[in-house]
Structure 1
Amino acid sequence: MRWESSRMMLPEHVAVLREMARHADRIAKPQLDEQKLEELERMIHDASSRKLPIDLDYYHDGKIHTLKNCTVSIDSCVQKVRISNPSGIAQNLPSQNIVDVRFSSRQDI
């Protein structure tokens, strides 16, 4: 009974443990070579000019996220890509955070 109180944790310790668990699954941003960057740029430009849907992987907050079957438009002045998903929700992504691009297998948007 005397050691029963030692099982309790201070709120500060709990907060630190939760923060460590939240950051445990983070990864470093992938470094792409020049050839891969040119390929991504070409595919995004093709998809934008031909209005083709793409699947796009991007890095944000320590994780790789995927957007499927979306359309893109390019804003080269601010180096951002505007992504619109099939339901019409749009977002701007910094072009340097894009990790991979594939033409979507589904052509009906």
Structure 2
Amino acid sequence: MNELKRGNKLWEGSRMFLPEHKQALLKRRRNQQKIAKPILDEQQLEALNQSICYAKNNRLPVRVVYFQNGALHEAAGYIDGFDDINKKLRIAGGSMQSLTLKAADILEVKL
């Protein structure tokens, strides 16, 4: 009678889950969740440029949606400046000290 309730002892030893297995599964899940970078057309780029210039000249608070590492992120603050040579936008204030973004990664500026 006891032999019927013993379970499956033959496969009990193969129920291991190493930390390396867990890390590999998490990495795979993160890679599957990544999205492709959206491509903006000329009209969207022009509207984005106008929003940046207007917000910078009038010192208005903005929310910037940007693409980084396969995901969309959002930052809030004021436009501190734009580096024409390196094509980077600096955002200051809000929830962080300062953030520098590549112009190519910026998708939307909300006033």
**Which TM-score band (shorter chain)?**
0.7 to 0.9
Amino acid at match of 1:85: G
Task: Show the 5 A alignment for 1:1-20.
Answer: 1-20=9-28
1:4-61 alpha-carbon deviations (Å, 9 max, x no partner): 1122134443332121022222111111111101110111011111111111100011
2:84 is aligned with 1:76 = yes
Which structure dedicates a bigger proportion of its chain to helix? 2
Q: Given the alignment, which residue of 86, 98, 107 partners 1:99?
A: 107
**Partners in 1 of 2:98 and 2:60 — Cα distance?**
16
Q: Given the alignment, which residue of 24, 31, 37 partners 2:45?
A: 37
Aligned residues: 102
- Greater radius of gyration (CA): 2
**Partners in 2 of 1:57 and 1:79 — Cα distance?**
17
SS in 2 for 1:35: helix
What percent identity do the matched residue pairs reach? Answer: 36
- The answer to whether the 8 Å contact 1:45/1:74 transfers is no
Q: TM-score under structure 2 normalisation?
A: 0.82
2:64 is aligned with 1:56 = yes
Long gaps (5+) in structure 1: 104-109
RMSD: 1.6
Long gaps (5+) in structure 2: 1-8
Partner of 2:3: none
**Partners in 2 of 1:100 and 1:87 — Cα distance?**
18
Structure 2 CA distance for partners of 1:87 and 1:17, relative to 1, 3 Å: closer
